[in-house]
Every structure is written in C-alpha cells, then in structure tokens.
Structure 1
Amino acid sequence: MAKRRPVIITCAITGAIHTPSMSPHLPVTSEAIVSSAVEASQAGAAILHLHARDDETGKPDQSVEGFERIVPAIARQTNAVLNLTTGGSPYMDVEERVRPAAHFAPQLASLNMGSMNMGLFPMLKRHEDITGWERDHLEGSRDLVFRNSYIDITYVLETCRENGTRFEFECYDTAHLYNLAHFADQGAIEPPFFVQTVFGLLGGIGAHPDDISHMRRTAVRLFGDDLVWSALGAGAHQMRVAAMVAASGGHVRVGLEDSLWSAPGTLACSNADQVRVAISIIEGAGARAATPDEAREILMLRPLKEQT
C-alpha cells in the first residue's frame, strides 16, 4: 500500500480581525488562547499560529508582555511548531509587529509579502449591535491600507535573521508571490519557501476555484521544488478551500482567526473542532495529518531544543 502524504495543518488561534462580540467561542483572554491552542494541537494541528490579545478588552496586543502570557505555556504543553505573527494588526507599524518574534526567536513566524487594502467593514452587516473599539476596528477599515512595503519586509527579515527563524510567507494576491520571488532572487531568503496563500478576504484575491488554481500555478512556476504550498479560506470559504487544496497536493490552515464558522449559520465551538473537520477532509483526499516533527522536517526548521 502506498504511503499517505503528510499534510501540515496550521491552526490560527485568534488573530486580530474578529472581535470578542462576534462569537462566544473566540479565545480572547490569555488563558483561553493557551487552552484553545493546546486543544488544537491535541486534535492534530502541527503548527499553531499565534496572536495575543489584551486580557481586559480583547484588543490585539503585540507587546512582548502579551506574548509572554501565552507562548511559554503553550510551548510547555505541546510539541507543536509555534508560529508567531509579525502581521499583528493592520493598524500597527512594523516595528511593533515584529517585537514578539524578535524576542522569542520562534522556529517559525508569519511574514506578509505586500501591502493591500484590508476591508473588514462588510462584517458590520452581520454584527450590527457591536459598539466601542470593535465597531471602530471594522469601520476604520474602509480607509485602511495594511502596509507591508519592501522596507518593512526587509526590516522583519533582518531583525529575525540571527535568530534562525524561518517564515510562513502570507500571500494575499498574485503580486505578493512575485514580491517573494524578488526577495528569493536577491538571496534575502532561502528555500524551502512555506507559502500561505490567502483567499476570500476583501482587498485580496477571491476564493473562486479559478483563483486558487491561478495562485497555485504561479507559485509552482516561480518556486518549483522549493515550494511548500499551503492555503486558507476566509470566512465561509474555509473548508471548501481546504478541500481543494488538500486534493491538489497542498497543506491547509484553519482556525478561528480565519473563520468563526463550522458550517453555514453555525459557529465553530473551538479551534479543535475546525482541526478535526480539516483532518476528515485530508483523509478523504487520501492523505493524513502531518505530525509537528514531520512539519519541522518538511519546512527545514531548526531543532526544537533551540525554541524559546
């Protein structure tokens, strides 16, 4: 019998897009983020993509202190690869966003590969009753450019270079793949390139099957055998994109950062629930969930013993 292909499942635990009032299941306190991350790991996620939040307000918190409340605890309780965001919130500058990765020197960190409009305001139609900073967070995105200039990207790469941190390159559109190819051509990054293509967020590429195929073809053409391709679908697109990607030989990302839903009209009860759905999709495609150590091998991460 042929060996089943290992598929890396990344679980993005909380993010900086959804706000506390949108779902009672979104982890926003440090304790809840740690608990949810551990559960997702136990369910089969090989990589945990981490953001922190303010324990009192639930606002995105990119301080070292905020991550200190979650990173050591998760590292003690799981074998998962910890992937710290350098995206933070689109309202933050790059110096603030990179601080946790610079401090903790994780095996993996995210890196957004281009600037974009980031339209969160359509969610106001579904959450008309939210107030305060949550409404401002969504409404303000009508005039929001998520800046990731070439100088910003270089700053993150140079800040983390001595740490041995590798990157999940987040690409929201075709141009972001070409930006990544530019940095590869300049020798600023080394393969393999863990490319996380993002579909269905307003301001980026859509989630039509043609969009997914186009991004995959472009990434394969640009990076060839150096590519480790993964994808996520935002909102209601999440599991449909996961199914297409798993069937096409890619890796998948799920989690409450990307979608609050488990089915149309049904809120996901936890990150672990979404991981379990992803595993059923992957197994249905004739593959299996990769272990954290297999993910480390595929991505050529430095040894776990060096992880803070």
Structure 2
Amino acid sequence: MPEPVIVTCAPTGGIHTPTMSPHLPVTPDEIASAAIEAAEAGAAIIHLHARNPETGKPDPRPELFQQFMPRIANACDAVLNVSTGGGLGMSREERLRAAVATSPEMASLNVGSLNFGIFPMLGKYSRWKHDWEPEFLEMTRDFVFKNTFSDLEYIVKELGQGHGTKFEFECYDLGHLYNLAWLIDQGWIEPPFFVQMVFGVLGGVGADLDNLMHMHTIADKLFGDSYEWSVLAAGRHQMSFATQAAMLGGNLRVGLEDSLFIGRGELAPSNAAQVRKIRGVVESLGYELATPSQARERLGLKGGDHVAL
C-alpha cells in the first residue's frame, strides 16, 4: 500500500499582497486561525511566514512569529515549519531571524539562486491598499533571489547542526537538485531529506508535467530511498500538480502563499478550503492523508517538545 500523503499548507507566504485577496492572513491572529483551521482540515505541516499587521508587508521579526506559533502549537499537533525565504529583498540574516529564535522542527531552505519575477502581477490591479505593494512587485523585474553555496552552507550548519532543525528543501529548477546533492556529499545534512519541487514561478522551472516527471526521475537517481518528495505549483497550476504528485506516490503543498484561488476565477475563501479540496481529491484516488506524527516519523523530526516557543 502507498504511504499516506503528507500535506503541507502555506497560509500566507511573502509573495501575494493584501490587495490581491481579502482572505490573505496578515495579522498574527489571522495567521494562527488560518493555520489551525488548515491543520484541522488535514494538513500535517504548516509552512509559516509573518507579516506586518499594519501593512501586510512580509516581516522577519521573531516577536511576530512568537505571537502565532505558540497558539498554533497549543491548538493542534501540526509540524511548524518556519520559512528562511522570508520576503523578497530581505538579507540572509533577516530571513533567518525567526528560525534561529524559535528553533523549529522544520525550516524551508531555497536550494539555489534564481530570478524571482512577480512583477507581471502589476498589470492585474489598478488600485492598491498600500503604497509598498506595487513597488515590491516592480523591484522583482531586476532582482535575484540570492541563495549562494556560502548561504546554503551557513544555513544548514546554523539551523541543521546548531538546532537539530530539518529542512523543506525548495527546488525551483533541475540544478537545485544537484545543489542539494552537493550539500549531502559534504556530510552537512543527514537523511531523510524532504524535497519540495516548485513549479510555475517566473525564473524557475515551468509548470509542465514533463518537468515534474523529469525532476522526479533525477531526484530518484540522486537521493534513492533517502528522501521524501513533495510538489507545489503556483497559481492556477496548484491543484492539478498536487493531484499529479499524489498519483505518483509523492506529497504535496497547498495554501494561499502558492495560489489565491480554489477554482477558475474563484478566490479561495480560506487555506482550509484548499486543504479540504485536495483532501477530497486524494481520498477519492484511494489514498490517505498522513497525520503529523506520521510526518514526523518519516521526516526524522526532533518533535514539537524540542522547539523554543
């Protein structure tokens, strides 16, 4: 029998802006509620970012994370995964602040630099809630999301070796899989590895099924039976790629970080609604969803009682 599908939910992220959806969680209360509801709907892992509660802008301050992470942990058993991607334009030190302060079970790690273009979204809106939003999108026209080998070494040693944190290795292109293989070859990280394949971001690999199949094939060659793999796809590709991942025996990620929609032209009313939708698809295919305890065992996590909340 295939193993249960690990569902990750990313409630808010650092890409979409408040103008784009009234349902995007911004305040600590909103993020906590969205995360708890997603966990109750079936998400085993919650991938967390923070935002300035006044403006909705991505915010790296650990004190904001501390306003919602304990509340989530007290309300459910989901694995809390703290982003080290932060917000586009943040320094490496800013991106790491929350993870270093909270010593989480998991943290995301983007395994390579790339042109990260979200400026095409400028053309979809004529009025903005906040002045920072169009400026934030426009700056990505001339922006490189920096994740050098020096950055990767620093982060896996600081968080992995220093805190016992395991990683959601976010791979936006084929070369990122080889970057991860290089980190493994250095002996800096131990299996099992959780590989999150990311499709449909401008600057990364396109949301084409052939790309998914090829990246899965190469990951199998590189990591053998030492890894768990998951798929996320941006925007309209979210549900179809999540479904393909489940059908291929992988895991998946949904959430308003990756797509604001739940259907063609229909804004998702909540993160939990996306989790419930993909849960229905997965279960209709004859698969089960993994519990948080099953996810912890398969990913080799240290447990929720070893974090700094």
Q: TM-score, normalised by structure 1?
A: 0.97
- The one-character-per-residue Cα deviations of 1:130-182 (angstroms, maximum 9, x if unpaired) are 25100011111100100000111111112112211000000000000000000
Q: State the distance in 2 between where 1:127 and 1:26 align.
A: 16
Check if 1:283 corresponds to 2:283.
yes
Aligned-partner residue type, residue 143 of structure 1: D
Aligned-partner residue type, residue 275 of structure 1: V
Corresponding position of 1:218? 218
Corresponding position of 1:142? 141
Check if 1:12 corresponds to 2:10.
yes
Aligned-partner residue type, residue 197 of structure 2: T
2:68 to 54, 60, 70: 70
Structure 2 runs not aligned, ≥5 long: none
Structure 2 SS opposite 1:288? coil
Check if 1:232 corresponds to 2:232.
yes
Aligned-partner residue type, residue 9 of structure 1: V
Cα RMSD over matched residues? 1.0
Corresponding position of 2:39? 41
Aligned pairs for 1:72-151 within 5 A: 72-130=70-128, 132-151=131-150
- Indicate if the aligned counterparts of 2:230 and 2:253 stay in contact, CA closer than 8 A: yes
Structure 2 SS opposite 1:7? coil
Structure 1 SS opposite 2:224? helix
Aligned-partner residue type, residue 151 of structure 1: S
Moved more, 124-133 or 10-19: 124-133
Q: State the distance in 2 between where 1:200 and 1:4 align.
A: 27
Q: Residue 4 of structure 1: CA displacement?
A: 5.5
Q: State the distance in 1 between where 2:112 and 2:3 align.
A: 31
- The one-character-per-residue Cα deviations of 1:75-106 (angstroms, maximum 9, x if unpaired) are 11110000000010120111110111111110
Aligned-partner residue type, residue 28 of structure 1: V
- The one-character-per-residue Cα deviations of 1:205-262 (angstroms, maximum 9, x if unpaired) are 0011101111111111110101200010100000010011100010000000000000
- The one-character-per-residue Cα deviations of 1:14-69 (angstroms, maximum 9, x if unpaired) are 00000001000000111100110010010000000000000101010111112111
Corresponding position of 1:264? 264
Q: State the distance in 1 between where 2:192 and 2:295 align.
A: 12
- Indicate if the aligned counterparts of 1:4 and 1:286 stay in contact, CA closer than 8 A: no
- Indicate if the aligned counterparts of 1:232 and 1:258 stay in contact, CA closer than 8 A: yes
- The one-character-per-residue Cα deviations of 1:271-293 (angstroms, maximum 9, x if unpaired) are 00000011112112221110000
Structure 1 runs not aligned, ≥5 long: none
- Indicate if the aligned counterparts of 1:183 and 1:189 stay in contact, CA closer than 8 A: yes
Check if 1:172 corresponds to 2:133.
no
Q: TM-score, normalised by structure 2?
A: 0.97
Q: State the distance in 1 between where 2:101 and 2:297 align.
A: 24
Q: State the distance in 2 between where 1:27 and 1:173 align.
A: 28
Which portions of structure 1, spanning 4 or more consecutive aligned residues, are displaced by more than 3 angstroms?
none
- Indicate if the aligned counterparts of 1:255 and 1:274 stay in contact, CA closer than 8 A: yes
Structure 2 SS opposite 1:69? helix
Aligned-partner residue type, residue 117 of structure 2: G
Q: State the distance in 1 between where 2:21 and 2:303 align.
A: 37
Aligned-partner residue type, residue 138 of structure 2: E
Structure 1 SS opposite 2:225? helix
